[in-house]
Structure 1
């Protein structure tokens, strides 16, 4: 039975992420994506799919393959609409990490985390809008992909 999901996801090799927290966030997003996702590219044969996700020439590139790595489709999205959210997300994550390492109050840490979740939701909604008509995905898949977009952006 065909499954409209990602079976694998690959990110380009590059410099390490700036800190262990960012690397853990990226690794968790990949693990969560592979544990459960909904990814249904319009007009492609039934899945599952392999996704190579990268930033190339100022664009977010979804390079979709079948599980044998045969290319199926490349979707490139302009990064411009994501830049403010990515920048704000990195600032909030840095504030969260600082609050945790400096022993900030639980209320402050929770407030920062709520802000992070809000930005995450905005990023997921934007990703769903930008992929509309090209790839159908559920909200949790979009959230996790937005985490990976932010991780990729840290490397450029």
Structure 2
């Protein structure tokens, strides 16, 4: 078994509100794909890893455990630099989900290209922020960014205060 990988991942459900079904589907796909194939190598630890993602004090907390579930470390990253990419990603996803239901295929394709580009840029930002702490491949970073967005729904909707619990809009 490959040791530099995540074998289990969970989100701190206390950090998030009930989500729209489109967001739930994105979360399920990201977790499934992540567990199928990933490269995740925290500096100084032997894997494979069980990971729990949560938000605390405007920071992403990545709780690491070994394969038996014993705690290894918590790696924290400030989320301020992710505010705009997350907000933009929510907005473009909202447009995408609306377009899928009613738009012409050309419009959907253009929105999806923009969504993928923003997602790719955000994945690179995540890799840069974790450089020297966790080595991960690009696809792993993309899936983790999706999960970070899911975690951010509560903070975003609570901060804005005008959207209901199913909303993915942040401002």
The interval holding the TM-score normalised by the smaller chain is over 0.9
Distance 2:34 2:145 in 1: 11
Unmatched segments (≥5 aa) in structure 2: 156-171
Per-residue Cα deviation, 1:89-117 (whole angstroms, up to 9, x for no partner): 0000000111122x211111000000100
Distance 1:27 1:2 in 2: 23
Structure 1 segments of 4+ aligned residues over 6 angstroms from their partners: none
1:28 matched residue in structure 2 = 29
Aligned residues between the structures: 153
Per-residue Cα deviation, 1:27-47 (whole angstroms, up to 9, x for no partner): 100000000100000011x21
Distance 2:130 2:75 in 1: 9
Secondary structure of 2:53's aligned partner = strand
1:65-80 to 2 correspondence within 5 Å? 65-80=65-80
Distance 2:109 2:95 in 1: 11
TM-score (norm 2): 0.87
Distance 1:124 1:145 in 2: 8
TM-score (norm 1): 0.95
Unmatched segments (≥5 aa) in structure 1: none
